Structure 1
Amino acid sequence: MSEETANDTQDLGEKIVKVLKTIYDPEIPVDIYELGLIYDVFVNEENEVKILMTLTSPNCPVAETLPVEVEEKVKSLDVVKDTEVEITFDPPWTQDLMSEEAKLELGLL
């Protein structure tokens, strides 16, 4: 991977994070990135994106819609060729995965 490609990939990664920070869990007034629901974002040289994420619980009421929203919003970035969202519960989500900002917002600090 050339340095230019690496920079493009990093820039795209930052754009993806910005998009993820616009998506909120409907039950918690914090975006899914700060909640720690995004485990990893992979971007290849063809600008295909794979997002590994979890939900607050397997019975989460938005289990059907949240991954679709993530996929559609990331795919809406002009430079993204394709997006795949994979849900995992390994490791299961806990409040420890939340950012300090999210914990502060929810009065957990």
Structure 2
Amino acid sequence: MAEEAQGAEFSPIENKVMESLEDVIDPELGIDMVNLGLIYDINVDDAGKCLVTMTLTTMGCPLGNLLHDQITQAVESVEGIDACDINLVWEPAWSMDRMSRFAKVALGIHG
């Protein structure tokens, strides 16, 4: 279901959630989750419940719990959001190709 929604245009509140997630920084890389390409989809229902479909750079990421808490806090800080669920997926696998140009430049990755 989340894969079907990927690529769909976000609603205004979903855009606000994505903006808020730009404040969640991966402590190891110093880049936000959005620019790293770790956020795959955002879905907000009419009741104000947000589902964030995302991945991590590695399956054994030791910061998973910290990032979960920071993402939940960022999402729930958006007006109109009453709850946040995180759908952590491993398919499609994350790769550096998912990073924004900003993230690549900040990390010194060229090409």
| TM, length-normalised to structure 1 | 0.85
- Is 2:44 the partner of 1:64? no
Q: Which runs of 5+ in 2 are unaligned?
A: 1-9
Percent identity, aligned pairs only, is 31
Provide the rounded CA distance (Å) in 2 between the counterparts of 1:40 and 1:78.
Answer: 19
Q: After the TM superposition, which parts of structure 1 deviate over 3 Å for at least 4 consecutive aligned residues?
A: none
- Secondary structure of residue in 1 paired with 2:51: strand
Aligned residue for 2:74?
A: 73
User: Using the alignment, how far apart are the partners of 2:12 and 2:77 within structure 1?
Assistant: 16
Give the alignment of 1:11-26 within 5 angstroms. 11-26=12-27
Instruction: Report how far residue 68 of structure 1 moved.
Output: 2.0
Q: Which residue of 2 aligns with 1:107?
A: 108
Quote how far apart the aligned CAs of 1:59 are: 1.1
Q: TM-score, normalised by structure 2?
A: 0.84
Which residue type is aligned with residue 44 of structure 1? D
Larger Rg belongs to? 1
- Cα RMSD after superposing both structures: 1.3
Cα offset for 1:105?
Answer: 1.1
What is the alpha-carbon distance in structure 2 between the residues aligned to residue 63 and residue 87 of structure 1? 10
Q: Is the 8 A contact 2:49 2:81 kept in 1?
A: yes
